[in-house]
Structure formats: structure tokens, C-alpha cells
Amino acid sequence: MGDRTKRLSAIERIIGTERVRSQEELLRLLEQEGFSVTQATLSRDLKLLKVGKVSEGESGYYYTLPPEADSRDGERNYIQDIRRGYMTVQFNGNVGILRTISGHADSVALAIDGLEFEEVLGTVAGDDTIIIVLAPSATPEDFRETIRRRVPGLEE
């Protein structure tokens, strides 16, 4: 299990068992478990996990995880986002350039990250281009095979 996956699991466990009221508090709890995370990374993780806030009345708000059905809907939404925006992908070694329809790179990159492709170390999105960095043990064909399997009907 990768560091990111372990961190996301830790966030889910912490939020699922404690009333966390701020990102600062969550950062502190993650540090106690050995995770060193920036606030920007934590914000992206919370967005990826679709973490929301619930009112506690006058006491303020606390973080909450989405219901399981929302997680399944999220995966379907990610697949649709890839289908809507994906055009082509080309690799040079373990770095790839994925072209999207203009304005779709951010949602396609978020979907690739959200679907947790084991082959992908990370993505960087522009307007119509995504830089994809593959894991050292992954090949471009591994990525192509996974995206075709996870996103049925995708045409290159």
C-alpha cells in the first residue's frame, strides 16, 4: 500500500472515529500517526475523499465522511469525467502526456487520482494537458490496460 493510500485510510479512520473540527486538528492527529502533510495536500485529500462538514449547533462544525452510496457514485462520476475529457496519451519512459478536451484536464486528473490507479505516482493538470508520472515498476502499457479496464468504452 502506497504512502498516499495509507494516509487516506488514516484520514478516513480518524474522521470516522473522532470529531475533528479543523484541518489544523487533523494535521496534528496525522502527525501523531507519523504522517507529515502540508495543508494544501490535506485539502486535496479531503476533497478526494468527499469529506463534508456537519453542524454541531453552537459548538461549530466537524468533518464527516460521505455515505457508502456516495463513494460508489463518486467512482461512476470519475469514470464519466474521464470519458468526457480524454483524448490521447503518449509516454516517454515513465512520464506521459494525456491530452483532454480544453478545460477538462483538472477533472480527468482528479478522476485518475480518485480511482487510485496503482501505476500512477501522480498527475499535474493544465487546461487540456495532464502530466502523468508512472510508478517505477509500471509501464505505459500497464497504464493503458488499466484505464481501458476501469473506464469501459474509452476510445483512443
pLDDT in tens, 109-134: 999 998 999 999 999 999 999 999 99
Segment 128-149 shows an average pLDDT of 96
Q: Are 97 and 90 in contact (CB under 8 A)?
A: yes
**pLDDT tens digits along 34-58:** 999 999 999 999 988 889 888 877 7
Grid cell for residue 101: 478536451
Among 34, 64, 94, the domain-final residue is 64
Grid cell for residue 124: 499535474
- Bridge partners (DSSP) of residue 130 are 98, 125
Residues 35 and 76 grouped into a single domain: no
Name the least confident of 61-70, 103-112, 142-151: 61-70
Looking at residue 46, its pLDDT comes to 93
Average pLDDT, the chain: 89
136 has a pLDDT exceeding 80: yes
Q: Are 11 and 45 in contact (CB under 8 A)?
A: yes
Burial letters for 4-39: b for 16+ Cβ neighbours within 10 Å, e otherwise? eeebbebbeebbeeeebeeeeebbebbeeeebebee
Residues 106 and 131 grouped into a single domain: yes
Domain extent for 31:
3-64
For the chain, what is the domain count?
A: 2
Q: Which residue has the cell 498516499?
A: 4
Looking at residue 82, its pLDDT comes to 94
Segment 77-105 shows an average pLDDT of 94
Residue type, 3: D
Q: What is the C-alpha separation between 102 and 135, in angstroms, rounded?
A: 27
Read off the pTM. 0.56
Q: Are 91 and 118 in contact (CB under 8 A)?
A: no
